[in-house]
Structure formats: structure tokens, C-alpha cells
Structure 1
């Protein structure tokens, strides 16, 4: 854990250094802040009036850099992210203030909120309340956010699931008709080095859209950032399914024990049953309380059911021995040696394909 945090710190430090030295900022803003405080003093600026007042909505360009994607918590339905968010818009009233850095309260500033429930924190406190002005009244605002965001991902295909984790921003209700958010895909990207384990991240997408407010019937302009990732199932395959498979194989030893030893057969089957149930309980701690079954749940239930069937088979062969039909009992054991593996692996295959 400490090594992971150190790697994350070094990665973000490198990104932040490049931003402050001009590389990232040049891509996002291309603003040279070269004016004095007196030259940047505003007079009679009506901050409550939109730049395009009376001439249509103000377009706010949004781009997002995913500096890091630290993990996904399936139990709490959260993802841990580190984002650089940039807003850009045109305010012709600031045409003569290129090269200035101004306070948010001194100019018109778009009210944009995150729709996902989150614990995001703004880290650049100096930049939190300031905007930069470029040529022609182009205004830039950049902020870094880090923390947990609700992911709302479903787990029907766990642990073979793929997700598009969405983070959605929207205009304030009072600005519904006056602000339109546009997505800047060229300046939206994700870092090549991510400190996330158990997931394969394939990329990010950004798109503009609308969201209807049911009470008022108004449409809010939205920006949706999608982080595409698929889970690496190796941990569950080797640490759960493989070990469970050995438990099931252990129950099949019943088919090689002479039918006359049915007490030993029943004891072995019961041990296998208890062990498989313990596996099920241990895996349940890694998942939220769902109203549906995942692939892993179905695979566990199917394996436990087959262990139960092996116990039933032992009872049947024991009854056949009592009735002096040991030959039939031996024949049933030999058939079970073939049928049960087919049932296990065939059932697991169908579960994966049909889920």
C-alpha cells in the first residue's frame, strides 16, 4: 500500500511539474500572464450578466485529464480518481485583459456541478478562485480534483465484467437556458501510468449531452467523462475458482471408494460441502449486497449443488449395497466419474455464456 501511494505521488508530481512548467498549461490555455495588478483591475463588470447576454447561450468548452485512476470499490460502488478539469469560454468584455489573472468573483463564471455523489477535493487552492484571460477575451479555468466518486456499476458478469465508469458534470438549474457545455476530446486524455490493480483501463471518452430535470422540465447541459475498463479475473480464477475446483474434485473421491464404505463416503461429501460453503461466505465479503446473482455466485452455487449430488449418489449406492445390488452400485460410481466432470465444466461454461 505504501509503495502504491509513493508511485502515485511521483506520477502526479511529474504531471503537476509539467503543468506548472508550461507543457500541460500550454495545451490547455496558452496564456501568458504578463500584466501588472493595476493593468488587470476591472471596472463596472456585471458578473451576473452572461457574456452572450441576449445573443444565445454561452458555450463553455470542457476538457479533462485523468492523471490517475487509483481503484474501484465494488462494495461501496466508488472509484478513486485524480482529475485535472479545464473550463474555457469567451467573454468579449475582457478583450483588453489578456495576460491577466482575475478572481472568479470579479468576472462571470459558469456554475457547473458534479452529478455523481462524491468526496472530491480541490487541491490547487491558489487556482481555485482565479481564472486566466487570453487573447480576445478567452477565459480559462483549471482545477485539480482528487477523491472518491460513486460509480453506479452493475456486477452481473463479475468477475468477467467490463465497465464504462461515468463521471458527469452539469450546468446549474438557473443557467439551463444560458450555458451550453461542449466537449473537447482532443485535450481529454488519461495518463499512461495508472496505479490501479485488478483492472485493465483501455481509455477515456468525453461527450456533451443533456439531462432533463423532471420537476421543472428543463434540460441541463451536461458533460460525461467515461473511463473504459475491464476487470482482470485472474485473482478470482486462481484464488477462488481453482481452490473450489479442488474441493469439488475431493468430493468425487466418493466415486472411487467401494460402495460398501458409504459411511466414509458421506463424511467426505459433508466435509466438501462445508468447505465450499465457507468459500462462498469469504467471497461474499468482497461484494455488495446485491439483488441479483453474479457469474461467480452462480458458479459457486452450481459447484455446491454438484457436491450435494455426490452425497446423494453415495446414499443411493449405499442403499444398493444393502439390497445386495453391489454390481449396480459399482456401475453407478463408474458412470458418475464421467458425468460429474461434464456437469461441472459444462454448467460453468453455460453460466458464463448466458449471463
Structure 2
């Protein structure tokens, strides 16, 4: 009996110890063992990733940590109930945030105030650097909605890593090891990434045979849908899909002859750099509308509405401008000029965006070997260019590249070179107005980069170092030109007009020539024809010597200029004056002095009329055409 009682007390002791263990070692039965899940994703501008977190139990503690994985994404985390209308709520948040900032509240404080009042839990910068994190004690059993997005203060995008845990606080200290648990589930449809439709319009013009576009990366199992419809009656479109190597993957019906065609393709593996090519059947050309869809079969009908992410990569717009720093020389005979230029290019490359926390900076600068390494990187695509009218080496004095955290790029280069100027026309010399150009051609075709160069972005320096020429105006133009590749490329043209300072020509050429003309004219007031012959002969010799003296200052061209014709005309008239005086002298010697005087009386007004008529002819033949050519070139360039 005593043994039985002892055994009963021992059993009671074990039960009591077990209860103590349940109470103190495992505090609450509702709290689950620690679970950790690691998720990865990418957020474009304006996107919100919706994660459903189901079956949370009262007393559980939800820990969430979000960090930047690529780009300049500044993470933000929001937790709400599962029935929240995120689109309407986002609009309200932005309006409230803008109102607070307008009232003078600092952006960070305004953001904390706005999101703190609207959500169960919220975080913008509670982690390391710009990382977001929070912990939330679940008040009641149920499903919850976790929102991952970029900060509402700035426009940021990029890749992210999302760590979600239940009852595992170590993740807030940057320590996590996935346990294999599934805690949060991405709702692709609510996030707007399950499907996408993109609409583009373009054309196949006279200078091209196709339109080629690169596609954004496509995941295995996703289905691509394409529809192209003609906007020109005679254009019969065709579609071809190629892989990164140019191998044809799929084509639309090559025997179709209608005004539209479709194509559908589902890759078995993740695919990048696929190309979609639009051509015209039998070389037909015209305008078209392209619909590209991801997991959206309605695209094949041509009626789907644009929504979601971009499928086709459009060309990157490059803002290009130039500054003429100096004119180093003008070779009129060779039709070229030397110049020192500064070129700047600005564009956005999301792949180069970075997290400011990584370098504690908002921009990176590349010069020297660092720039060379960046430009030689095969994975880095930038708007490389060539100078179309370059005739000698391009000597680069300095160059560099600045990359901002959001992917904005700035490339600058200062160089000197000799540039061809085939538009030189010296017929009106020295009253000529010449056109000078710098033509920058993109090496990549225009489905990758397109130049845009507004006039106000380009400039001309204040001290060009060229004393002979005076710049009167400049202009810019962006065009599309034929290239060695299938697709044409973009061209930026910077042109300026210049005419000559005339002081030199007036003092060294026109004034002496006018004096020679006047000396010949004054001889007509002499009645002694012998003296006339002596004076005009000497005048002719002076003119010949003068012509040799100024010959080095005249351009040696294969055609006559205004100044050439003028000097030749003066030479001819001066020679005719000598011949005329000899003729009058012979009449006098033959006893026909009255006839000679009667003829001579007409020369006082015939001589200036001859020069007047000659000047009008020179103006019509040399000056006027050059003037109209200059006007037309200005209109074409502007």
C-alpha cells in the first residue's frame, strides 16, 4: 500500500513538471515555431507587389524585412487587411502626402504620418540604410495583405529581397535562414504583372525594309501574343520572332495577304534579347499598329487595351547637345575646317541604377581607366557614335561619364578634329555666307537609340579664335540616315552660318581697285591723247602688280568667284581704255581730231555706265544665287 502511494505521488510530480514546462518553456500554444521565407522580385515605377499572408494566428508575431537587390529601389512595406483596395488607397496616400509636403512638413515625417495612420504596420527606412522592416503582433486569426513597393517620396525601381518570418525576430538583425515554410504568396494579378498589353505605332518607310525591336526578358511558361494591323491600304505586314542569336523561332503565316497578322509563342526556358521583326510582304511599305501581349490572348483580336509592364523595348531617347568651343582653321581649297567641340549626351539606363547606400553617394563618376573599363564592358550598351564628316583623327582632350542612382547617364567629351565642309560655295567671295556642320551618327540602329537635340541645348562659344569669320546663326537637326546595318541610325546635325569680316577686303582690295578705276576715269578729262596712253598704261601695270600682290589672299578654286570676276573685269576695261586712247590718238594723227573729240565726249558717261552694268551682272550671277542658297540651307537645317 505504501509503494502504491509513492508511485501515485511520483506520477503527480511528473505531471506537475510537464505543466511547468508547457507554461514557461512554451509560453503559448497559439504561437507557432519560428518560420522564415525568402522571396525575390522586381518593382517597376509605380508598381505595388501584393503578397497574401493567410492563416495568421492571434499571438503570432510577423516579422518582415525588405532590402534593395538592384537598381535604386528605396523599399517600403505596408501591412493591411486582405480586403484593402490598394489602387484607391495609393491615390489617397499620394494626395495626403503632397498636401503635407506643400504645408512645409519634411518629406520623411510626412510619409511616416500618412502611412502610419492608414495601415496596421508600415515601414520606409526602419532597417539598415534605406531597408524597410517591421514587426507586428497578430491581434486576431485571419488573412492579411502585405504590400511591397518603392517609397512614395521619390520614384525608385529595381530588384528586391523580401524576408518574411513568423515568430523569428532574428531577421530584423539581418540573420535569416529559410526554413522551407510558405508564408507569403505573391498575387500576380493584383500586382498587375500576371498579364500585360503594350501598343506601339510605327512605319516601314522608303529608307528601310523592316522594323526590329528587342523584347524584355520572358519567363519560361509565359505566352507571348502579337498582333500587327496595317494602317496603309497596300501594306501587308509579316511578323518574325528570333532568339538572341538571330535564329528564327517562329513566323506569322507567310502566305497571308490581309491587312493584319498574328503570332503566338510560349518559351520553354527563360528567354532574353529575343527580337520581333515587322516586314512587308513582297516589299510593301506603310504604317502599322502593333499589339504585344503577355498571357493575354485577347491581343490576337487586335482589341486588347494597353496595361501592365512593357514587353517590347522601345528605343532609348538620347538628349544630345554640342558646344563649338573654337575654330582652329578654315581650308577653303580643301573645303574643310578644324574645330574644338564639346559633346554631351544624356539618357536613362535602368540597368545602371544603384542603391545609394552601397557607396553613400547619389552619383558615380567614371574617367580615365575606369571609363575605359565601363565602355569596353560587353554588357554595357551606350549610345556610341562616330563623326560622319570627320576627315582626320578625333583627338580627345578629356571625356567622362556620370551615373546617377536612378540610372540617369551623362557622357561628355571634348575633342578637336578636321571636319569636311562640302557645302562650301565661294562664288560670292568675299561676300559669301558659308555653312559649317558637325554630323554625329549613332553606331547602334534607331531601334536601340534615338537622338534628340533641341536647339536651346547647343551653344557656340564666345571666343572662337577665328578672326576672318563672323558667326551669324546656328541650328540643330535630328534625322534618320542609312547605315551599314539593316536598320537606319539616328543622326544629329549641328550647323552654323558664318560670313567674312570685310574690313580687310575693303581696305586691301576694293579701295585700291576703286582708285585704279578713278585714275582711268580722270584721264578722260585730258585732251592730250598721248598723255592718256602713258597714264592708263602705267595704271594697267600698277593693276597687274596689285593683282600679283593680293593673289595669296584669294582662294585657289576650280571656278570663278565674285572677286575673280570683278578683278578680271577691271583688268579688261582698263586694257580697253588703253586701246580706246590709242584709237583716238590715231584719229588725231590722221587729221580727224573733231571726230575723235566727238567720240571722246561719250566716254565720260559710258565709262561709269559700263562699270554699273558690270556690277549688276556680277551681282545677279554671283551674289544673288549664293544668297538664295544660304536662305534655303537655313530653312532646311532649321
Cα distance in 1 for partners of 2:382, 2:511 equals 56
Name the structure 2 match of 1:105: 376
Rounded Cα–Cα distance in structure 2 between residues aligned with 1:293 and 1:86: 41
1:145 aligns with 2:415: yes
Cα RMSD of the aligned pairs, angstroms, is 2.9
Q: Deviations over 1:5-56 (max 9, x none)?
A: xxxxxxxxxxxxxxxxxxxxxxxxxxxxxxxxxxxxxxxxxxxx89x99513
Q: Given the alignment of the two structures, is residue 227 of structure 1 paired with residue 501 of structure 2, yes or no?
A: no
* Shift in CA distance, 185/211, structure 1 to aligned 2, threshold 3 Å: same
Is 1:246 the counterpart of 2:510? The answer is no
**TM-score, normalisation: structure 1:** 0.74
Does residue 1:60 correspond to 2:329, yes or no? no
**In 2, Cα distance between equivalents of 1:100 and 1:257:** 85
Q: Helix, strand or coil for the counterpart of 2:338? A: strand
Aligned-partner SS, 1:100: strand
Distance 1:193 1:223 in 2: 24
Which has the higher Rg, Structure 1 or Structure 2?
A: 2
Does residue 163 (structure 1) correspond to residue 437 (structure 2)? The answer is no
Q: How far did residue 324 of structure 1 move?
A: 0.6
Deviations 1:171-203 (A, max 9, x none): 22x635433222133321122344321322123
Aligned pair partner of 2:348 in 90, 114, 117: 90
Instruction: Report the equivalent of 1:340.
Output: 607
Contact 1:113 1:169 in 2 (8 A): yes
8 Å CA contact retained: 2:333, 2:557? no
2:580 is matched with 313
The structure 2 residue matched to 1:192, chosen from 455, 462, 469, is 462
Gaps of 5+ in 1: 1-48
* 1:135-191 Cα distance to aligned partner (Å, 9 max, x none): 42111110111343233311111111112311111122x635433222133321122
Is the Cα–Cα contact under 8 Å of residues 74 and 287 in structure 1 kept in the other structure?
no
Say which of 491, 504, 527 aligns to 1:258: 527
CA distance in 2, matches of 1:294, 1:199: 18
Of 467, 477, 481, the match for 1:211: 481
Structure 1 residue 260: deviation in Å? 4.9
CA 1:167–1:283 in 2, change beyond 3 Å: closer, same or farther?
Answer: farther
SS at match of 1:181: strand
TM-score (norm 2): 0.43
Could you tell me which residue of structure 2 aligns to residue 24 of structure 1? none
Q: Decide whether the 8 Å contact of 2:421 with 2:435 is kept in 1.
A: no
Cα gap change, 1:150/1:286 in structure 2, threshold over 3 Å: closer, same or farther?
Answer: farther
Residue 562 (structure 2) aligns with:
295
SS in 2 for 1:236: helix
Between the aligned partners of 1:272 and 1:53, the Cα distance in structure 2 is: 82
Contact 1:163 1:229 in 2 (8 A): yes
Which whole-Å CA distance do the structure 1 matches of 2:523 and 2:454 have between them? 64
Pairing 1:285–2:549 present:
no
Aligned CA distance change for structure 1 residues 165 and 94 (closer, same or farther; 3 Å): same
Aligned position for 2:305: none
Q: String of CA shifts for 1:42-72, please: whole Å, max 9, x gaps.
A: xxxxxxx89x995133322211122234553
Distance (Å, rounded) in 2 between the aligned partners of 1:231 and 1:99? 45
Which residue matches 1:122?
396
Taking a change above 3 Å as real, the CA distance of residues 60 and 275 of structure 1, as seen in their structure-2 partners, is same
- Offset at 1:225? 0.5
User: What SS does the corresponding residue of 1:289 show, helix, strand or coil?
Assistant: coil
Q: Secondary structure at the match of 2:553?
A: coil
Listed one character per residue, the Cα deviations across residues 223-251 of structure 1 (whole Å, up to 9, x for unaligned) are: 11112222222221221011012122233
Alpha-carbon displacement from aligned partner over 1:306-334 (angstroms, at most 9, x marks no partner): 10210121122012112211122123333
Cα 1:80–1:273, aligned 2, differ >3 Å: closer, same or farther? same
Per the TM alignment, residue 285 of structure 1 is displaced from its structure 2 partner at its CA by: 2.7
Any idea what SS the aligned residue of 1:186 has? helix
Partner Cα distance (1:216, 1:281) in 2: 53
Would the aligned equivalents of 2:445 and 2:490 in 1 still touch at CA under 8 Å?
no
Whether 1:272 aligns to 2:531 is: no
SS of residue in 1 equivalent to 2:313:
coil
Distance 2:607 2:588 in 1: 21
Who is 1:40 aligned against? Answer: none
Q: Distance in 1 between matches of 2:607 and 2:439?
A: 49
Q: Structure 1 segments of 4 or more deviating over 6 A?
A: none
Distance in 1 (alpha carbons) for counterparts of 2:419 and 2:384: 19
C-alpha spacing 1:333/1:135, structure 2 compared with 1 (3 Å): farther
CA contact (8 A) 1:259 1:330 kept: no
